Amino acid sequence: MPYDFSFDLSRLPKQFFRELSRVAEERQLHRRFGLRARELAERFRLSEATGLDVETLLFLMEDLADVQIMNLNHRKKFVASSKRALFLPHCARAHMDSRCKARFDPTVPTYQCAHCTGDCLVGQASALGEKRGYSVYVVPGGSCIPKIIKAGGFEGVVGVACGMELMPALKMVQKYNLPGQAVPLIKNGCANTAFNMQILESVL
């Protein structure tokens, strides 16, 4: 399910994401997240930067923080896992039409990147995942993930998606008792979306 609003956090300074991670960690210890998130929104002038109202921003930040908390909780078990899958969102491809040369496998269904251009986040992330020994799947949605997990015998999973897709996907992965790590999109919209490659690299 996509958000019913569009956001683009790709121009925010890295410090914002560092601060949000810190606030998320604090959220595990106490429940003052709303207050701290509001302070962050004001300090980084998020409304001006994104065009979103404060309540929508707080909703978005809460999702980002929840993802971060789940990552922290799963991290130790994930690091100990060896056979891993990486799920990338089809919406972050450089092209959503026939210019994308990814091979589509209707039986799964997923795309497999053909590395047709260097200027594509999904292409770069696929190459990175493959280099690190991950089985990489470019997915059109979360519904194909259980089938892939069951067939692949994976011990750990990394997923990139918007927060709205990530939370149910992470819960689904938990159902299979697998440690999951997630990288939220910093720009949504279901096409031309974006995620932070440095964050993905550190998660992998």
Q: Which amino acid is at 75?
A: R
Give the span between the Cα atoms of 178 and 78, in whole angstroms. Answer: 8
Cβ–Cβ under 8 Å, residues 156 and 177: no
Closest distance of CB 46 from ligand SF4, Å: 19
Structure tokens at 127: 């190459």
68-107: which residues touch ligand SF4 (CB under 6 A)? Answer: 89, 91, 93-95, 100-102
**Contact between 162 and 188 (Cβ < 8 Å):** yes
| Strand, helix or coil for residue 67 | helix
- Least CB distance to ligand SF4 at residue 184 (A): 9
Question: Does residue 5 contact residue 53 with C-beta atoms inside 8 Å?
Answer: no
Output 41 or 113, the one with its CB closest to ligand SF4. 113
Binding mask 18-47 for ligand SF4 (x = CB under 6 A): ------------------------------
CA–CA gap between residue 106 and residue 16 (Å, rounded): 40
Among positions 49, 128, 144, 190, the unique one binding ligand SF4 when judged by CB under 6 A: 190
Among 64, 65, 161, 170, binds ligand SF4 (CB under 6 A): 161
Instruction: Decide: 91 and 3 in contact? Cβ < 8 Å.
Output: no
Query: Within 112-131, which residues bind ligand SF4 (CB under 6 A)?
Result: 113-117, 120, 122-123
How far is it, in rounded angstroms, from Cα 148 to Cα 186?
26
Neighbours of 25 (CB within 10 A): 13
- The two tokens of residue 114 are 């053909």
Q: Least distance (Å) from ligand SF4 to the CB of residue 131? A: 15
Window of 13-21, 24-32, 68-76, 161-169 that interacts with ligand SF4 by CB under 6 A:
161-169
Nearer to ligand SF4, 99 or 150 (CB): 99
Residue nearest to ligand SF4 (CB): 123
Give how many residues touch ligand SF4 by CB under 6 A.
24
Q: How far is CA 127 from the centre of its chain?
A: 17
Q: Which parts of this chain interact with ligand SF4 (CB under 6 A)? A: 2, 89, 91, 93-95, 100-102, 113-117, 120, 122-123, 161-162, 165, 185, 188, 190, 193
